[in-house]
């Protein structure tokens, strides 16, 4: 059983490193779309860094085989959730995603939940089941796959709306998490059929079961959906949401599918359920998006301050306006009158040109003296 704990922790290391490597690679790749899966695969396999991340994820899934084979499903999922600790630390170090005080508190709480789950294990009392009827497995797997695809596609449609709220990645993470939840059930079923002594018999049993087909579908669909979501959202956001949905689905559905009983004694039952509930509640309470400081709109006019008397005001068209505190002088030769009312007519008032002044009289010579 303790080999299963070590395998789960090793799987956390490989999976966390794989997600970080893929996120670094996706940041330098062109935008991916689930509508063009063939192009997406060509772009992904052309990146050596992404291939390294994919290899690390594959090693993590291989470690999960040993974990599911030696641990009850609820305990295995509780330990695998603790991989968020390493993921958050790696995201902060290599992806530049800063940890807030709330996220640091969540990391500490998940470490506490890991200790509670490990203390609830008892090698002699716990029952580990590795087989399940095919009909019961499909009864859970098929609706779960349909729900995951529907959630993801609904998020894609909302993202294309013109006046949409910026996505936080929650729907993407839940949709992919449902697919990975079915993948976790499939890996546990495969681990019960794998036998090193009879290779041909193992291959025949696998082909006769629904596991290889659901595993192939979840691998391809999960690859396409998770990479597009990981490119659009933060790794420290999308992966915890996906892990939470995966854990909830695997624990709830796996207990029914594989029929693994919970601990019978009250202290271990409280530790097991309390550790899982604490880990899931912390993941649900983590912030879903970064808080951004309000930015000043570009081109915002600044207050020029008070205008003193006697200084010209700037008009809307850039020409100096009237001087405050001074009355306009009447034009020579024009009788002063009331100023035209603005807005009285359908258009702006017309400017009145000053009337021409009469010519000054020219003095003419006159006998007997000057002209009076």
- Please give the pLDDT value at position 276: 80
DSSP reduced 3-state for 195: coil
- Please give the pLDDT value at position 313: 47
Task: Give the separation between CA 242 and CA 177, rounded to whole angstroms.
Answer: 4
DSSP reduced 3-state for 364: coil
For residues 14-40, give the mean pLDDT: 88
Looking at per-residue pLDDT, the higher value among 144 and 238 belongs to 144
- Among 21-35, 65-79, 283-297, 321-335, top mean pLDDT goes to 21-35
**Do the beta carbons of residue 121 and residue 75 sit within 8 Å?**
yes
Neighbours of 267 (CB within 10 A): 10
Choice among 39-43, 108-112, 163-167 with the minimum mean pLDDT: 163-167
Q: What are phi and psi of 313, to 5 degrees?
A: -90, 145
- The answer to whether the Cα torsion of 154, 160, 164, 165 is positive or negative is positive
- Please give the pLDDT value at position 106: 76
**pLDDT above 70 coverage of the chain, percent:** 70
Q: Is pLDDT of 163 > 80?
A: no
User: Against a cut of 0.75, is the pTM above it?
Assistant: no
- Please give the pLDDT value at position 139: 92
The CA distances from residue 224 to 215, 240, 284, 323, 329, in Å, are 14, 18, 24, 68, 78
**pLDDT above 90 coverage of the chain, percent:** 13
- Please give the pLDDT value at position 336: 52
Mean pLDDT of the chain, nearest integer: 75
Q: At what angle do helices 2-27 and 83-94 cross, to 10 degrees?
A: 30
pLDDT confidence band for 286 (50 / 70 / 90): low
**Do the beta carbons of residue 263 and residue 125 sit within 8 Å?**
yes
| 2-24 per-position pLDDT tens digit | 788 888 889 989 998 998 999 89
The partner residues of 312 in beta bridges, in order of sequence, read 323
**Do the beta carbons of residue 65 and residue 186 sit within 8 Å?**
no
Residues 6+ apart with CB under 8 A from 163: none
Whose structure tokens read 């902060």? Answer: 92
Q: Given its phi and psi angles, is residue 294 left (phi above 0), alpha (psi -120 to 50 degrees) or beta?
A: beta
Q: How many helices (H) and strands (E) does the chain have?
A: 12, 2
The partner residues of 233 in beta bridges, in order of sequence, read none
Q: Is pLDDT of 27 > 60?
A: yes
The CA distances from residue 265 to 1, 11, 119, in Å, are 19, 29, 13
Task: Give the separation between CA 336 and CA 241, rounded to whole angstroms.
Answer: 78
Structure tokens at 134: 């095919």
Residues 6+ apart with CB under 8 A from 259: 129, 132
Q: Nearest Cα to 63, choosing from 14, 2, 11?
A: 11
**Do the beta carbons of residue 18 and residue 56 sit within 8 Å?**
yes
pLDDT confidence band for 188 (50 / 70 / 90): confident
- The two beta strands, 312-314 and 320-323, are antiparallel
- Please give the pLDDT value at position 289: 52
- The answer to whether the Cα torsion of 232, 234, 235, 240 is positive or negative is negative
Q: Is pLDDT of 43 > 60?
A: yes
- Please give the pLDDT value at position 319: 45
pLDDT confidence band for 296 (50 / 70 / 90): very low
- Please give the pLDDT value at position 254: 76
| 151-161 per-position pLDDT tens digit | 888 888 876 76
């Amino acid at each position: 059983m303790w080999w299963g704990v070590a395998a789960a922790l090793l799987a956390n290391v490989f999976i966390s490193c794989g997600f970080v490597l893929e996120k670094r690679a996706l940041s330098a790749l062109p935008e991916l779309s689930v509508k063009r899966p063939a192009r997406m695969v060509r772009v992904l396999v052309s990146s050596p860094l992404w291939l390294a991340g994919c290899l690390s994820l594959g090693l993590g899934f291989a470690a999960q085989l040993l974990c599911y084979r030696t641990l009850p499903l609820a305990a295995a999922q509780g330990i695998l959730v603790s991989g968020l600790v390493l993921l958050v630390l790696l995201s902060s170090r290599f992806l530049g995603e800063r940890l807030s005080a709330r996220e640091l508190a969540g990391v500490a709480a998940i470490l506490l939940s890991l200790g509670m789950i490990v203390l609830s294990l008892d090698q002699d009392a716990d029952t580990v089941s590795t087989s399940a009827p095919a009909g019961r497995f499909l009864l859970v797997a098929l609706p779960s796959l349909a729900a995951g695809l529907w959630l993801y596609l609904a998020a894609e449609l909302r993202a294309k709306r013109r006046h949409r709220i910026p996505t936080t990645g929650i729907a993407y993470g839940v949709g992919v998490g449902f697919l990975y939840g079915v993948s976790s059930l499939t890996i546990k079923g495969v681990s019960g059929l794998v036998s090193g002594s009879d290779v041909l018999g193992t291959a025949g049993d696998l082909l006769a079961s629904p596991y290889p087909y659901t595993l192939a579908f979840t691998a391809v669909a999960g690859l396409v959906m998770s990479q597009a979501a990981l490119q659009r959202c933060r790794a420290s956001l999308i992966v915890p949401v996906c892990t939470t949905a995966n854990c909830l689905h695997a624990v709830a559905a796996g207990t029914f599918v594989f029929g693994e009983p919970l601990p019978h004694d009250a202290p271990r039952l409280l530790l097991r359920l309390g550790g899982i509930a604490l880990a899931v509640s912390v993941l649900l309470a983590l912030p879903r998006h970064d808080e951004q400081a309000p930015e000043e709109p570009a081109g915002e006019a600044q207050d020029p301050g008070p205008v003193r008397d006697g200084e010209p005001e700037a008009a809307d068209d850039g020409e100096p306006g009237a001087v405050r505190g001074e009355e306009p002088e009447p034009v020579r030769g024009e009788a002063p009158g009331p100023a035209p009312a603005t807005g009285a007519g359908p258009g702006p008032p017309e400017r009145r040109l000053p009337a021409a002044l009469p010519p000054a009289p020219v003095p003419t010579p006159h006998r007997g003296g000057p002209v009076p």
